[in-house]
Structure 1
Amino acid sequence: MRWLIILFVCLVLGSLAACTAFKQPSEQEKRNVSEMTSNMRTWALGRGLIDLPANWSGGGDVKLYYGLGADHSSVEVRVLGEGVTQQRFDAALNERAHRIAAVKNDEQQDASMLVSAKRENPQKIWLQYFESTEVPDTFVHEFHLLVDDAYVMLRAESYNGNTAPVEARLLKLSKEIFKVAPENAGAGFALGPVVIRSHHDQEIASFYFRPPASDVSLEVYVNALSPSQTKSIKTRTEEGARVFLAGDYENLRARKVTLAGMSAEESLIGFSDDTHRQILFGCENYRENPSMNRPSMSFRMSAGGIKRTPIDPGKPKDLVRWTLPQFANKGYDLPLWQQPASPEPVNPSLTDYEAMAVWDAILKSVRIRYGAVAPKPDPWANIRGPSAEEAAESKRILDEFIASLEKRRSLPGDSDQ
């Protein structure tokens, strides 16, 4: 019996040693991870900051809500480009306006879908157009801003022809957007190179990042006031895998972690089909008392599948195509019969070890900025300084009082003892 126990122990220890040896990263993997994680770039991410490999690029958009009831209003904010000159800004707006104007509203006697285009100043341009042909008094309002060299678009809708409040909201918001360095973003919601210092009630944003010409991508979803999920991400991943993958997947890792100083969970899986393998990592935080500086955050990183085509460095970024209304987004793509075949899916360009090491470095870097949320002004407070007229009157009274004191000192018998 004793020798059987010894044999069993030896087999177990041998299996563990073999597994440990199998999981040890190669020297090349270690070098690759060091290259990706030793030179990280800091990005502003909503109310927080995040560090990503230096060659990754990205962007995002946010929807700001004013009011939380059924009568709330909202504004969508997007950064369309950075390093944009006045000339490129003007050209992009000219193309955008012409594409919208070229479409006719057949429900309005073939009037142009573009209702108006006007210039607040060279860096602030208004566009207003019909939301669709079905509803005659629903409009989309776009306010295009050149904030230093960042091209920012504000977009909101008006209903029942009530356009003035929407334009007032956009005009006010345009004065609350500033170009900043991530480390100096301060109070406000950061969206790439700009920070939005608006006093709104809710913010929901999506961000995306990826290395150049790669199959790797990272997506981040932020919702300030959404309650945390009641079901863990591991459980939901397993349920989804049973439905979409017939349970055929690898559970690479699942554990509790910390994300931006809040409790969180992650689930890392891999799966394959007849053509390629993919990995999918997910992480979500769980918190009580949702607020602007304690938002719900969901991270998704994938590798494998479709590989992004290389970007021509000599070709400027398209500032129009991807945000046009659907009715005006025509003429960009070739007809289906002339389009090239879809690229073949590829295996992950990162090994499991490399992907997990980069993932860990990214998650550990996420932090909420100090002072990211400024106190909201009390709408009932009546705290203000004096008007110019009130200040002048106060100065006159003070001058007269000082003059009367000087006059008393000059009277006989009324000098200081």
Structure 2
Amino acid sequence: MLAAACLIFTVAACDHKPAPLSQQEKQIVTELTADMKTRCVGRYLVDMPGDPWEWGRAKIQGVSIEAKAMTEDAWRQEVAQREEALKSTTSRDAYPFLYAAGKARGDNTYYFVHRGTIYEAPNRRYIEGYKWDRGYRFLLKVKTYDYTRPDRTNDPIVKQFGVKNEVPEKTAVVFSLMDKLRGRAPDEVPTEPGVCFAGGFLRSPAGSNEDVHAQFGWDNMQDVSFDMSTTPDICDSTTLLQRADGAEMHAELKAADGHLVRKGPVALTGMRAEEWLAEGRMDGGGRGNLFSLFVNETTSGPSTPYLSLDLTTGGQIEIQGKLVKLEKRSLTTGEAVALWDAVSRTLRMRPGAL
């Protein structure tokens, strides 16, 4: 049994380098990467082929932020409909549902303070901030509490809280973030300190308590997507390659009937990274690729934020609300590796980002 286990472990750990690209594969990769365009995520830059669609979000100082392309008229209509819905909601108890509504700071801003749902406790509060700028609507949300309305300050547990009503503090945070937000076109690369996310930019010096996620994809390759996440607040004790040599990752690879394509350190501009590239059975049963790269895993901080980049191909896609298994993935493993190299090696810190 021990000998068999060692054999399985050894086979799973071996690199299965893809065969050299055929002439057709070379042509596909050449066309795919002929027009690379710079995209901004968090405080980093990366080059993506063509004009991918982008989805993303940010969470700054505990406040979630989303941007959506929208006209000013559509934004005003959305805010008006939201206010009407909140005002028409009646709590199940004797306390109000909507506690505040009105203009925040500056033009094209608005905010609400409410209970969230009729099932929430009477001391629960949700703050929503709305802003329209340069063709984008920003929606900011944060969950908080107010133990002064209704008054529960004599509750033994509440007495332990340093702050009995967080609404003023959290509202100030939301207003401050709204002041610093601006709309941003996909190809705009800011030159000042701050954080990029899909549709927006937040002016701010390097700090903590920020989290950005972005996903890039293509309509003609629905099973291919790049995912990026970055934050200064994650600092692991081990690196990707240290974990890759562990039994857990080998077991996952074996369970997926997979094999390792490549692994090792990667030298990026001013940064050190590690990558792990695998091929195997994906969710839904189809075969595909999962490639991962990590930057600053054990040294993350305000000036060296953690970053992860993943490429997934194959598996299944959603068509008209249904998950469909792919009989043929958009890219062969060799093509996926070539695309990965073309994109991942462009990762760099945005000049002036900190």
In the alignment, structure 1 residue 370 sits paired with structure 2 residue 322: no
Distance of aligned partners of 1:210 and 1:108 in 2 relative to their CA distance in 1, 3 Å threshold: farther
Distance 2:98 2:328 in 1: 46
Structure number with greater CO (CA < 8 Å, separation at least 6) is: 2
Kept in 2, the 8 Å contact 1:233–1:284? The answer is no
Asked which structure has the greater CA Rg, the reply is 1
Q: CA deviation at 1:290?
A: 2.9
Q: Secondary structure at the match of 2:101?
A: strand
Distance 2:253 2:265 in 1: 25
Residue correspondence of structure 1 range 222-233 to structure 2 within 5 A: 222-233=230-241
Q: Secondary structure at the match of 2:204?
A: coil
Distance 2:127 2:143 in 1: 6
Distance of aligned partners of 1:100 and 1:53 in 2 relative to their CA distance in 1, 3 Å threshold: farther
Unpaired segments ≥5 residues, structure 2: 1-15, 147-164
Distance 1:246 1:234 in 2: 20
Q: State the TM-score, normalizing by the size of structure 1.
A: 0.67
Q: CA deviation at 1:183?
A: 2.8
Distance 1:353 1:102 in 2: 57
In the alignment, structure 1 residue 127 sits paired with structure 2 residue 112: yes
Unpaired segments ≥5 residues, structure 1: 1-18, 66-73, 311-339, 374-417
Distance of aligned partners of 1:208 and 1:221 in 2 relative to their CA distance in 1, 3 Å threshold: same
Q: Secondary structure at the match of 1:183?
A: coil
Distance 1:253 1:203 in 2: 31
Kept in 1, the 8 Å contact 2:211–2:230? The answer is yes
Identity %: 22
Distance of aligned partners of 1:205 and 1:341 in 2 relative to their CA distance in 1, 3 Å threshold: closer
Structure (1/2) with the larger helix percentage: 1
In the alignment, structure 1 residue 45 sits paired with structure 2 residue 49: no
Kept in 2, the 8 Å contact 1:223–1:296? The answer is yes
Match of 1:170 in 2: 174
Question: Which range moves more in the overlay, 126-135 or 292-301?
Answer: 126-135
Question: How many pairs are equivalent?
Answer: 313
Structure (1/2) with the larger strand percentage: 2
C-alpha distance after superposition, 1:16-68 (max 9, x if no partner): xxx99x82212221121112212112111111111111231113222223xxx
Residue correspondence of structure 1 range 88-103 to structure 2 within 5 A: 88-98=74-84
Distance 2:98 2:225 in 1: 36
Match of 2:339 in 1: 358
Match of 1:380 in 2: none
Q: State the TM-score, normalizing by the size of structure 2.
A: 0.78
RMSD across aligned positions (CA): 2.9
Match of 2:192 in 1: 186
Match of 1:303 in 2: 313
Distance 1:281 1:41 in 2: 21
Q: CA deviation at 1:347?
A: 3.7
Residue correspondence of structure 1 range 3-402 to structure 2 within 5 A: 23-65=19-61, 74-79=62-67, 81-82=68-69, 84-98=70-84, 104-108=90-94, 113-120=97-104, 123-132=108-117, 133-160=119-146, 161-180=165-184, 182-198=188-204, 201-212=208-219, 214-233=222-241, 235-236=243-244, 239-243=248-252, 245-246=254-255, 248-259=257-268, 261-272=270-281, 275-286=285-296, 289-309=299-319, 342-373=323-354
Distance of aligned partners of 1:372 and 1:252 in 2 relative to their CA distance in 1, 3 Å threshold: same
Distance of aligned partners of 1:285 and 1:162 in 2 relative to their CA distance in 1, 3 Å threshold: closer
